[in-house]
Amino acid sequence: MIKLLTIIGARPQIIKAAAISRAIQAHFSDKIEEHILHTGQHYDQNMSAVFFDELGIPEPHYNLHVGSGTHATQTARITEGVEQVLLTAREQGTPFDGVIVYGDTNSTLAASIAAAKIHVPVFHIEAGLRSFNMSMPEEVNRIVCDQLSSILFTPTETGLQNLQAEGFAEDGIKQRVRFANGQGPRVILSGDGMYDNSLYFSKIADDKCNIIERLGLTSRGFVLATIHRPANTDNPANLQSIFTALLDIADRDQIDIVLPLHPRTRKMLDVQLTPELMTRIETNNHMRIIEPASFFEIIRLEKNARIVMTDSGGVQKEAFFFQTPCVILRPETEWIEIVEAGAGIITDADYARIMDAYDVLAGKEVIFPPLFGDGHASEKILNEIVKYIAD
Ligand code: UD1
């Protein structure tokens, strides 16, 4: 049996891990034993537990309960906790054969450092993505994690090209780099497990979740907005210009704006927005600010929205899976193929660009080519892990 430790911590990782857990249970239960470690980076019920319930992920074996803190504090606590779990298993004679990490959060960074230093192979899912913007904590996290990974599973052609530009080769080995087991890093174009999930859960969400009806929304008759990136929430000018644009669209088009609010953003509203803007938000009947959405809720909202406006990477992609055009409230995106396909427009937090992009996307026929694999990324990833450990 191959023993793997899956690291999750922040909301999107719980979602990504679901696809892999499901594939292990369905196709690899005789070969792979998965243990889940929750770092506790996200701890609110609606940021964590609700996803386990809906997505059918097994209870974590370990929870580090690290909570919030500065980047260094959070990263240090997680590094220490993950190392402890790996070393204890080794001492008990049942060592882990590898650690699976997802995406680009502090949990990803910390776990990859802990594992690589004690020679446990790191398997990075969502490798190779780059924004080239080093002021994002996520960019720092993903670059370091990729350098430490034994297998880099990249979801897109763009991810593969980014890694090749950094000296990685698809079928092989970054020049001269060797891990303790003698192997070099491997790069695999795997497709995207989030696409696997969206295909799998779309119908289930329609059956089990009534958020559209509960909020009195109509299909393609509202805008879905999500905002949580520090570059927006921690910068008053950016947050003000995004909210002004949302309010102006709501007023002009008499369209509801549904905004499930991340805890980071909720904390920053009063601090960053002018009293006038706060009053406009509170008194505008079309501004529908709700609690962070569950997975079923968010995919139903993404699927039924007329336009999605977001600074999240995952929401951009899911909007695309559900053929909903997307205004990207960031200066760049890791999912550049969405922009190239004409299904998304980058606006940063610039009022005029947001308004223009909204009008362009609302006014044209948008095409959504298949860019994120065939819906079987998770099986491909697990096959490669099994092969690696056998080699
Ligand atoms: C993290 C990830 C980001 C990911 C996002 C998804 C990093 C550096 N960032 O950002 O890549 O896109 O998760 O949501 O790892 N908070 C709560 N309750 C919670 C979780 C957080 O109140 O359950 C508050 C914290 O107190 C903190 C803020 O939200 O003030 C930010 O949390 P943090 O984990 O630092 O980063 P995110 O912004 O969630």
In sequence order, what are the beta bridge partners of 306? none
Q: Half-sphere exposure (CA, 13 Å, Cβ side) for 181? A: 17
CA distances from 69 to 6, 40, 264 (A): 22, 11, 12
List the residue whose alpha carbon is closest to atom 31 of ligand 1.
264
Please name every residue paired with 6 in a beta bridge, in sequence order, or none if there are none.
36, 100
Distance CA 249, CA 287 (A): 10
Ligand 1 center from residue 338 Cα (angstroms): 25
Return the structure tokens found at 242.
């995004």
Identify which of 295, 297, 314, 284 has the alpha carbon closest to the alpha carbon of residue 126.
314
Quote the CA–CA distance of 163 and 315 in Å, as a whole number.
24
Q: State how far Cα 45 lies from the chain centre.
A: 18
pLDDT, tens digit, 9 for 90 and up, residues 27-84: 999 999 999 999 999 999 999 999 999 998 989 999 999 999 999 999 999 999 999 9
Neighbours of 372 (CB within 10 A): 22
CB 286 within 8 A of CB 257: yes
CB 142 less than 6 A from any atom of ligand 1:
no
- Residue 163: strand, helix, or coil: helix
CA distance to 83, 199, 220, 312, 349, per residue, from 332 (Å):
34, 27, 26, 11, 11
Contact status, residue 333 vs residue 131, Cβ threshold 8 Å: yes
Do the beta carbons of residue 140 and residue 134 sit within 8 Å? yes
Nearest CA to ligand 1 atom 28: 264
Question: What is the distance in A from the centroid of ligand 1 to the CA of 364?
Answer: 35
Listed residue (290, 357, 373, 286) closest to 325, CA to CA:
357
| Residues tagged active-site | 228
Q: Token match 């999240």: residue?
A: 312
Report residue 384 as tokens. 């490669």
Ligand 1, atom nearest to 228 Cα = 38
- Does this model's pTM top 0.75? My answer is yes
CA 292 to ligand 1 centroid distance, Å: 12
Angle (nearest 5°) at CA 172 between 170 and 173: 115
- Compute the distance from residue 105 Cα to the ligand 1 centre, in Å: 9
Indicate which residue's Cα is closest to atom 22 of ligand 1.
263
pLDDT tens for the 391 residues of the chain, in order: 999 999 999 999 999 999 999 999 999 999 999 999 999 999 999 999 999 999 989 899 999 999 999 999 999 999 999 999 999 999 999 999 999 999 999 999 999 999 999 999 999 999 999 999 999 999 999 999 999 999 999 999 999 999 999 999 866 556 678 999 999 999 999 999 999 999 999 999 999 999 999 999 999 999 999 999 999 999 999 999 999 999 999 999 999 999 999 999 999 999 999 999 999 999 999 999 999 999 999 999 999 999 999 999 999 999 999 999 999 999 999 999 999 999 999 999 999 999 999 999 999 999 999 999 999 999 999 999 999 999 8
The answer, yes or no, to whether any atom of ligand 1 lies below 6 A from the CB of 68, is: yes
| Nearest atom in ligand 1 to 44's CA | 23
What residues does 2 pair with on adjacent strands?
32
Q: What is the pLDDT of residue 143?
A: 98
The pLDDT of residue 169: 82
From the CA of 230, give the closest atom in ligand 1.
Answer: 38
Instruction: Check pocket membership of 77 for ligand 1, CB cut-off 6 A.
Output: no
Please give the number of the atom of ligand 1 that sits closest to the Cα of 47: 23
16 CB less than 6 Å from ligand 1?
no
- The DSSP code for 182 is S
Check: CB of residue 36 under 8 Å from CB of residue 48.
no
